[in-house]
Amino acid sequence: MSGKSQRLVELDFFRGLVLLVIVVDHIGGSMLSRFTLHAFALNDAAEVFVFLGGFATATAYTAMASRRSESAARVRFLKRSVEIYRAFLVTAALMLVATFLLRPFFGSAPNLALHDLDSLTAAPVSSLTQILTFERQPYLAAVLPMYALFALSVPLTLPLARSKPWLLLGLSLGLWAFAPQIGEYLPSANDTLWDFNPAAWQLMFVLGVLARCTPVYQRVSSHRMGWVVSLGALALIIGMAYYKLLVLPPVLDSAFKRDLAGARVVNFLAIAWIATNFARYGLIKEIASRLPWVGAVGRDGMVCFVVGTVISLVVDSILFTLTDGLINVPAGLAADAIAVTALLAVPQVHQAVLRWLGGRPRTIPAVAPAAEKGGAQ
């Protein structure tokens, strides 16, 4: 298999793994979430998800531009932004429907979109308008608006990444530096800030694009002193884990994540460097070959994300009510097993539904088309 295919197989695996982690991380009583990235690092799965989205986008854009034309690639990602917008509306609707159905039985659960549901009931026209304009983003739907904006930016971002990568990085860093001020002007209901400030998180997306378009890792890692960078990355991971576990308070200000604090970026880059080393020596490819169902989740990323939001909300609400919000190891493990199993089943169910509807299901081993389809997720 070519090096390009290898990277895409590993990309599918990482994306699938991140989607699984996101599901359990949004279950308050989860036992697995005690051992996921956010438990020992200053960043969490969100950085990985956005970075991989940028990497997959660059892969898909480059492939389409080479196979067809730059114009076709630009049009594809403009259409992609519309697809993500539709996914946002579907996810928002699912959050509200799930809240409506769960409320009579599990109304004390903390993550139900009760405020959004009450607003919809009291003023349906204005509430629906606010959802359509991103002013209202019910719970886990909140990550998708920035993805729609990122997809819109692709026709400008990708040509610049390929011709003037350092200029793109400088512009991205400049926008990130002023992100907190920009975030205050984003449209929102009741003067609330977006959970993910796109002016900040675009940096992570751009880093993913640049990682695909520029050979910085290959040049540094192949240098005779490349091991020093890997050693420094490992030291950073250990040092930041110490800081997270023993120094920082358990709950940080929401701006730390919303505006993508610099410490989160540095911690992520150190982890990404080590993970890329594992991929370079074939370890990730070997793991992916033994766990093909994880890669299947990554290849069906958009559908798995949308369904995963419902899985998280339902399992979290039931678990919280059954345990009164207290830690319960057997119940938490059972919730993890149910959530993970349900998400792993989504690609197969999705393919079966497509066959039943007369559509042509995507062939699971076809890596490049999958990257194209999931490029802006």
CA distance 295 to 301: 10
pLDDT of residue 51 exceeding 80: yes
Q: What is the CA 320 to chain-centroid distance, rounded?
A: 24
Joined tokens for residue 6: 């290898």
Task: Write down the pTM of the prediction.
Answer: 0.91
**pLDDT at residue 293 in the model:** 96
The pLDDT-based confidence of 191 (bands split at 50, 70, 90) is confident
C-alpha distance from residue 363 to each of 4, 231, 316, 374 (Å): 18, 40, 33, 14
Average pLDDT over the chain reads 91
Q: 3-state DSSP call for residue 253?
A: coil
Token pair of 190, please? 């009741």
Cα 312 off chain centre by: 15
Half-sphere exposure of 311 (CA within 13 A, CB side): 26
Q: What pLDDT digit, counting tens, does each position of 282-328 carry? A: 999 999 999 999 999 999 999 999 999 999 999 999 999 999 999 99
Q: How far is CA 281 from the centre of its chain?
A: 25
State the pLDDT at residue 371.
Answer: 36
Query: What confidence tens digit (pLDDT) does each residue in 77-103 have?
Result: 999 999 999 999 999 999 999 999 999
Rounded Cα–Cα distance for residues 233 and 266 (Å):
9
Q: What is the tally of structural domains in the chain?
A: 1
Residue 251 contacts by C-beta under 8 Å, 6 or more apart in sequence? none
User: What's residue 141's pLDDT?
Assistant: 96
The pLDDT assigned to 221 comes to 87
**Which tokens belong to 165?**
């990568």
Three-state SS string over the chain comes to CCHHHHHHHHHHHHHHHHHHHHHHHCCCCCCHHHHCHHHHCCCCHHHHHHHHHHHHHHHHHHHHHHHCCHHHHHHHHHHHHHHHHHHHHHHHHHHHHHHHHHHHHHCCCCCCCHHHHHHHHHCHHHHHHHHHCCCCCCHHHHHHHHHHHHHHHHHHHHHHHHHCHHHHHHHHHHHHHCHHHHHCCCCCHHHCCCCCCHHHHHHHHHHHHHHHHCCHHHHHHHCCCHHHHHHHHHHHHHHHHHHHHHCCCCCCCCHHHHCCCHHHHHHHHHHHHHHHHHHHCCHHHHHHHHCHHHHHHHHCHHHHHHHHHHHHHHHHHHHHHHHCCCCCHHHHHHHHHHHHHHHHHHHHHHHHHHHHCCCCCCCCCCHHHHHHHCCCC
Share of the chain above pLDDT 70, in %: 93
Place of tokens 């991140």: 18
Q: Are residues 301 and 49 in contact, defined by beta-carbon separation less than 8 angstroms? A: no
Cα distance between the two ends of the chain? 26
Q: Give 219-269 pLDDT, tens digit per residue.
A: 898 888 889 999 999 999 999 999 999 999 988 899 999 999 999 999 999
Task: Please determine, for residue 361, whether its predicted confidence score (pLDDT) is greater than 60.
Answer: no
- Measured in whole angstroms, the distance separating CA 164 from the mean position of its chain's CA atoms is 26
Q: Say which amino acid occupies 25.
A: D
For the chain, what's the residue count?
Answer: 377
Predicted pLDDT of residue 250: 85
- What would the two tokens of residue 367 be? 């890596």
Domain that residue 334 falls in = 3-373
3-state percent breakdown (helix, strand, coil) of the chain, nearest 5: 80, 0, 20
Q: How many CA atoms lie within 13 A of 22 on its CB side?
A: 27
Distance of CA 251 to the CA centre of its chain: 21
Amino acid at 132: L
